[in-house]
Amino acid sequence: METIVEIKNATIYQRDHLVLSKVNLQLDRGDFVYLIGKTGTGKSSLLKTLYGELPLKDGEGRIGDFDLRKLKRKQVAFLRRKLGIVFQDFELLTDRTINDNLLFVLKATGWKDKKAMNERMQAVLGKVGLGTKGYKMPHELSGGEQQRVAIARALLNNPDLILADEPTGNLDPNTTEEILNLLNSISKSGRAVLMATHDYIHMKKFSSRVIRCEGNSVIEESVNSAVA
């Protein structure tokens, strides 16, 4: 299996405050990994380090070709193009339609050919089951639909890694299940998915790796022990 993320002996700080130490983490193609832990234990900080929001000051870290220790401010945008990021509050551009949201990402990441862009947009919207809603504004969609748009957006540039920070935190149980199925099928298509969550009930559905943040460290657990 090809390794996509590799963190060794890393220490993660939120400004000067130590959040996690001795972090070791490896994600391979096809992995679907839950990241759990109480609020304030460093789940979001770990994800932020992975998408370049927090600098990695100690230890080693690599995502694809990017060395997180040597990551410069200007490279952050390019790192993020290799990732798909999905948030609890969707982070859609609220001032434009779904199509324009997707178009913005394509244009921002260097796509030029109009036809290719349209095809790509239709492909990802089809994948999340929103093929006919591209003309709508974000606020005209339900929470679950908005989250699916965010996932479609994350898929635009064929990323190897999807980072999801409590993507179901604002959704009802049925919708949560839909989103989980979607993310799981994405991991099966040859990407790694790392998902921070509180939702232990739905975790049982897929047997996958579980990582717990607790007392400044990151512990790898099995699904059953985590849920128990």
Report whether 6 contacts 21 (CB < 8 A). Answer: no
Among 23, 31, 51, 88, binds other proteins (CB under 8 A): 51
- Taking the complex as a whole, how short is the minimal distance between the CB of residue 43 and other proteins, in angstroms? 15
- Taking the complex as a whole, how short is the minimal distance between the CB of residue 177 and other proteins, in angstroms? 26
The residues in 113-152 that bind other proteins, with binding defined as CB under 8 A, are 137, 139-140
Q: Between 72 and 225, whose beta carbon lies closer to other proteins?
A: 72
Q: Between 119 and 140, whose beta carbon lies closer to other proteins?
A: 140
Among 2, 104, 142, 215, binds other proteins (CB under 8 A): 104
3-state class (DSSP) for residue 80: helix
Query: How many secondary structure helices (H) and strands (E) does the chain include?
Result: 8, 10
Query: Residue 70: is it exposed, middle or buried by C-beta count within 10 angstroms (0-12/13-18/19+)?
Result: exposed
Tell the residue number behind the tokens 């709508």, with chain if given: 136
Tell the residue number behind the tokens 């997180």, with chain if given: 68
- Taking the complex as a whole, how short is the minimal distance between the CB of residue 90 and other proteins, in angstroms? 9
Count of residues binding other proteins (CB under 8 A)? 27
Q: How far is CA 29 from CA 124, 128, 147, 215, in A?
A: 20, 21, 23, 29
Q: Between 152 and 210, whose beta carbon lies closer to other proteins?
A: 152
Q: Between 54 and 210, whose beta carbon lies closer to other proteins?
A: 54
**Among the listed residues 109, 225, 92, 106, the one whose alpha carbon sits nearest the alpha carbon of residue 167:** 92
Chain positions contacting other proteins, by CB under 8 A: 48, 51, 53, 74, 77-81, 83, 85, 87, 91-95, 104-105, 107-109, 137, 139-140, 153, 157
